[in-house]
Chain A
Amino acid sequence: MPGELESIAASLEGQVSKGKKYQLISVKPQRVVEACKAVSALPGFYHLSTITALDLGKEISVYYHFWRGREFFAVRANVSKDNPSIPSVTAVLPSATLYEAEVADLFGVRFEGNPMTGRKLLLPDTYPKDAPPPMTREADPEKIRKMMGLE
């Protein structure tokens, strides 16, 4: 139903944009938990599909994907690369634990309050601490390989 998302967006100081088969609410990182809670409480929604992160250069945008029927919905928040920190939604959506851990490993985004913070899920234990996270644009496979002593 149109209007639902607009009202959510209005209450959270966000904007709604529409794509061909999906609608997107962009909010500030601090409001992400409220936004996810509001979207997942709408009738017909039932789960968080996944969390995607996208490297935009100076910022990392984090998508929370939901769906209902033939429509997709996403909540988007942009965090800066200098201090990539975003509140965790695991309190309202426990299923986000692993998705958040995955994004944290690969993009270096810190999810404040995620139970898996500080534990590696995907990356090898030998992954160097000072290397950029592997999926960001700065990551150079050759350099990382050298830092890991694989060369």
Chain B
Amino acid sequence: MSEATGSEKREAGAGLMEYSPEGLMPFGPVHPALKEPEYFKLTLEGERIVDVAPRIGYVHRGIERAAQDRTWVKNVYLFERICGICSFAHSIAYAQGVESLTEFVIPRRAKYIRLVIAELERIHSHLLWLGLVGHWTGFETLFMWIWKDREHVLDQLEAITGNRVHKSFATFGGVRKDLPEGIEPKLAQATKFVRERVKYYRQLMESEETLVVRTKGVGKIDQNIARRLCPVGPLLRCTGIERDVRVEDPYAAYDEIVPEVKTQTAGDIASLLALRLDEVEESCRLIDEAMEKLPKGDYKVLFPRAIPSGEAMFHVEAPRGELFYFVKSTGSTKPERVKIRTPTMANLLTAKEMLKGHTLADVPVVLTGMDPCFGCMDRITVFDPGKGKEWTVRGEALRKYGIEYYRRRAGS
């Protein structure tokens, strides 16, 4: 290729670059700040953001549809895989929704164990987010430290459930295993450790100047916006509105161990940081209290394979906010329809609102201020009907496809 054609191509490329004052900038689908593929089309004016257009659906797995072809029990494991972080919240939301269709009473001990796991999960999810704030603001050290401390919580989760992430612990009628012997001191130690660290991080986040300037006043929303756009979870509570499913509609053992709803008033990222630290502390308290009051007895009741017909709605307070399940049964061994609304879906509109008027440098921290879980949000489109099909693309075929694709593009 001669230099002349190169420069011609460059001229043609100038159109693509859009040097207009209102530049378009892709944020995603694959971007280092996003842990999961999602596309946000940002309209920029210099560094300032004018508009945000989300386009979701890059990680659709067809879970709602797939659920209709599986039995009730198999779906517990399926729904757990909607999200890696709040897997237990998904499984208990589904399990309790189904339980509410029947007359079975869940043993008290099972309720307590569910509470303990759910709160451990909340701690690990919040710590994960706090660490990631460090990553998004370029403070790698904070990220490493918090994740290092999060390991203590994950170790306890592994000791109780057998796995760090996909716990596969909840089932209909209780939990699948009792708490292991001698877990109480370990749990107490872990919560004590986490509390100490939280104290340190709170002091760090108030005193570390670079972190303060990056979070204070950034991504501000007020109560009016929050009421209009209905975010859920910490994003709502950081504006001062006290809503928490655990208190208002207690599930598991939350009617006996009542959590205190923490709120902040500022509605910015700094208040989200403080709020999540508060909630981690509160969760530690709940775990301690639950372990103290832990009743003796069964941890599980036997459950039938077919569920009586009816419709049930259920929601839990996942670490990210209200997680909503709608279950419809026609009395068979398979659900007729399961609808899942994850917190991220509810928070997406608010995040869009939060971003407007900020600079590009704020995008990662604001966009992820809602603790997004895009994998949770996208569930449906492409699905694999049953077994026997392999969708593996062999390396050679992929290479051929790539060559052909570029040839076609060059030709057109």
Contact = CB atoms under 8 A, between A and B. Distances in A.
Interface stretch (B75-83, B132-140, B152-160, B340-348): B340-348
Interface string A114-135: 0000001111100100000011
Q: Which 8 A-B pairs have the closest CB atoms?
A: A50-B341, A47-B230, A122-B57, A95-B230, A52-B339, A72-B313, A49-B324, A52-B326
Interface of B: 54-57, 60, 62, 64-65, 100-101, 227-230, 232, 243, 248-249, 310-313, 315, 322, 324, 326, 328, 336-337, 339, 341, 345-346, 348-349, 378, 380-385
A130 B248 CA distance: 45
Contact of A95 (B311, B312, B336, B346): B346
Contacts of B328: 54
A74 B313 contact: yes
- Interface range, A side: 35 or more
A120 B346 CA distance: 18
B380 A69 contact: no
A48 B341 CA distance: 11
A102 B339 CA distance: 12
A19 B243 CA distance: 25
Interface of A: 19-22, 46-50, 52, 54-55, 63, 65, 67, 69-70, 72, 74, 93-95, 97-99, 102, 106, 120-124, 127, 134-135, 141-142
A99 B348 CA distance: 11
Given A19-B310, A70-B249, A95-B230, A50 B57 contact: no
Contacts of A74: 313
Given A21-B100, A50-B326, A50-B341, 6 more contacts: A20-B100, A54-B336, A67-B249, A72-B313, A120-B55, A122-B60
Contacts of B315: 49, 67
B310 A20 contact: yes
Given A46-B227, A50-B324, A135-B65, A122 B312 contact: no
B229 A121 contact: no
A29 B135 CA distance: 48
Contact of A141 (B248, B326, B345, B383): B383
A39 B387 CA distance: 45
